[in-house]
Chains A and B, each alone.
Chain A
Amino acid sequence: MSEATTLGGTLSAGAGTQPAVLRHADTPSTTNIALATAGLGKRYGRHWALRDCTVTLPKGRVAALVGPNGAGKTTLLHLCVGLLAPSAGSAQVFGHAPDREPKAVLPRIGFVAQDHPLYKGFTVADMLTMGRKLNPHWDNTLATRRLRQLDIPLDRRVGKLSGGQQAQVALAMALGKRPDLLILDEPVASLDPLARRDFLRALSGAVAEQDVTVLLSSHIIGDLERVCDYLIILATAQTRLTGDVAAILREHRRLTLTGALARDEATLTHISALATIVASDHTSDGATLLVWLNPDTMPDAAPDAPDGFDPAWGAQTPTLEEVSLAYLERA
């Protein structure tokens, strides 16, 4: 069974362009959806920070929101937690608009903003007290246990903690709410590799423990592959690709053409007939193509099943990073 895959914008094939494809192989009911946006946009004066963003995030997924700086990731996340109001379209978290129905949405979400803001003058214990006072479903045992496991002293001022420790405190604050949807804006961007690994490990552990949907934005794709099972690619304020990671990897191939094959028109036409070329990279001694196999015309496409590809093309399953970069590079 193939999962939903959305391609925003047009893809150029060898001959002519194909229209945008929007399919839902299985349309989830509203009760299964944590987050749904429809044509969501945010404008500042004349400039659209986010435009025509349509995303559906099913419950239980750990989703990666990927895109370069300035793509609108933070804008999208802020729209989802009610920090911004939409200029166009709508966002629904568990069926409610975050900016207009904060009482219905806020208790169910946990949010860690970029640079994990905390009150620097507070002690860690003060932060937990704040969590307890401001949130009805606060689980103090959970938050304290997480911090103790990481050897973060409760009586230390937040401002005196390292960046990695502050990120962990912010995560503990968000998880202590026992949220149904956890949203993290570039949580590891300012952390050193060790802290980054610790954070993602802590996050995975928490996800395994609690029944929580996660939406995690990052411009570093490599880390996310281990943690995430759903992908949303955002570039120049529009969504380029969303879908289940497993399905995405199943539906894309990396083709490595060597030498003369790379310049052969017949080869390229043959490839275009079988799949849509998403990106191509030509070097002096060959070319690398990233192609998308339409699951409707290739219903049983799997890495080891026959897909009509010539073995000379060197088809392989790409990494998530290769797929993301390919879509991000498209103009």
Chain B
Amino acid sequence: MVWLVWRQHRGELLVVAIVLAILATALIVTGVQMANDFQQLGVASCLAQEGTPAANPNCNTILAGFDQTYGWMEIAVSWLNFIPPLLAILVGAPLVARELEQGTQRLAWTQSVTRFWWLAVKLALVLGGALLVSALLTALLTWWRGPFDQLGGRLDPGGFDFEGTAPLSYMLFALALAIAAGAIIRRSIPAMVVTLAGYLAVRLPIDNYLRSNYLPPVTVTQSPLANTNPVTRADWVLNGGWVDTHGHPISDYQAFSTCAIGPGSTKQDFFHCVVAHGWLETTVYQPASRFWLFQGIETAIFVALAAALVGLTIWWVQRRIN
């Protein structure tokens, strides 16, 4: 049975290996260069000395320069979010659907293996293989994102989506969805469409709305003239603004129209004006320390979805294909 799965899917395996090799090469080449520049351009020392008296006054320029050179790469990498659904479409959607489309289930299910065993081995090998691919990519991306993690932390979507255990759970979910769609719809192409639509329909709301509320965000209110920064670089800032002494929010428009008067006024003038009105700066954020907790929650969600879909597939293939 293992031989049969390999033989049926060896073409797909080749495609995946090639794509993975190309991605890995691109990431390694750019990653090495980025890590080097991170050290040699002084970004690393800037961050280490940030807030201390030894801070280099040119740090703003240095950081801006690094962002100009490499900032677009972080955005480009976010397209790798499509790797799980693409792999699912390539391997998962036709897994059961193609057998049914071509009628070869009449051959496969009348050998001496039961339908359950046929499906179980296929699921185990395909899901296991996909998990391996995801683990490799995650390890590679975690290393690649070293500089960005130091600059902006790993909690915001650019990092969270590619590090930790969550990416593996996305992969499991995508494949489980594709395989189930193929088994139920019985046609490969519609199953592919359903997979992509379903994957986005689940991940986008979670990425954009649910995740920021896994635990209630922390709100810090302080004077804009305070010496300490309310948040660190690694924290995930969700929102910020101005409030008056009673806690009522003051819109940015109101703040700027009241206090940013004319040319020549500096940031310090603005802050003094704000303080004079009795207003405070408020920051809503998720602390960096919650990274692994949030990873655990999100992983659990997607693993549970994947498990439910796998169960549905097994039940459907055994009882309903009739």
Contacts and interface: CB of A to CB of B under 8 A. Distances in A.
B208 interface: no
A109 interface: yes
B114 A106 contact: yes
Interface string B24-68: 000000000000000000000000000000000000000000000
B70 interface: no
Contact of B7 (A81, A102, A122, A170): A122
Contacts of A83: 105-106, 109-110
Interface in A161-178: 170, 173, 177
Interface stretch (A126-134, A219-227, A282-290): A126-134
A85 B113 CA distance: 17
Contacts of A129: 3, 7
A83 B320 CA distance: 11
B322 A103 contact: no
Interface residues of B, number: 19
A177 B107 CA distance: 13
Interface in B1-23: 1, 3-4, 7-8
Interface stretch (A52-60, A110-118, A307-315, A321-329): A110-118
A150 interface: no
B322 A109 contact: no
Contact of B8 (A84, A102, A119): A119
A109 B109 CA distance: 12
A76 B322 CA distance: 13
Contacts of A84: 322
Given A85-B322, A122-B7, A129-B3, A115 B111 contact: no
B104 interface: yes
Contact of B112 (A85, A115, A126, A135): A135
Nearest to A174: B110
Contacts of A106: 110-114
Given A129-B3, A130-B4, A134-B1, A117 B107 contact: yes
- Among A109, A117, A173: residue with most chain B CB under 10 A: A117
A103 B112 CA distance: 7
Interface in B230-258: none
Contact of A134 (B4, B102, B106): B4
A193 to B, nearest CB: 25
B106 A111 contact: yes
A16 interface: no
Nearest to B109: A83
Interface string A275-301: 000000000000000000000000000
Given A117-B102, A117-B104, A177 B109 contact: no
Contacts of A119: 8, 104, 107
Contacts of A45: none
The interface centre, meaning the residue of A85, A106, A136 with most chain B CB atoms within 10 A of its CB, is A106
A115 B103 contact: yes
Interface string A27-50: 000000000000000000000000
A134 B322 contact: no
Contacts of B3: 129-130, 133
A254 to B, nearest CB: 39
Contacts of A135: 111-112
Interface in B70-86: none
Interface in A61-98: 78, 81-85
Contacts of B1: 133-134
Contacts of A115: 103
Q: How large is the interface on A (under 10, 10 to 19, 20 to 34, 35 or more residues)?
A: 20 to 34
Nearest to B106: A113
Nearest to A136: B112
Nearest to A132: B3
Contacts of B110: 81-83, 106, 109, 111, 113
A153 interface: no
B115 interface: yes
A107 B112 contact: yes
Contacts of B109: 82-83
Interface string A134-154: 111000000000000000000
B112 A134 contact: yes
A113 B4 contact: no
Contacts of A111: 106, 110
Interface string B88-114: 000000000000001111110111111
A274 B107 CA distance: 49
Contacts of A133: 1, 3-4
Contacts of B113: 106, 134
A109 B110 CA distance: 8
Contacts of A173: 107
Contacts of B106: 78, 83, 111, 113, 117
25 contacts: A82-B109, A83-B109, A106-B110, A107-B112, A111-B106, A111-B110, A113-B103, A113-B106, A113-B107, A115-B103, A117-B103, A117-B106, A118-B104, A118-B107, A119-B104, A120-B102, A130-B4, A130-B7, A133-B1, A134-B1, A134-B111, A134-B112, A134-B113, A136-B112, A170-B107
Instruction: Give 6 nearest A-B pairs by CB, closest first.
Output: A113-B106, A134-B111, A111-B110, A107-B112, A135-B112, A102-B114
Interface of B: 1, 3-4, 7-8, 102-107, 109-115, 322
Given A106-B111, A107-B112, A134-B111, 11 more contacts: A102-B114, A102-B115, A106-B114, A113-B103, A115-B103, A117-B103, A119-B107, A120-B102, A129-B3, A134-B4, A173-B107
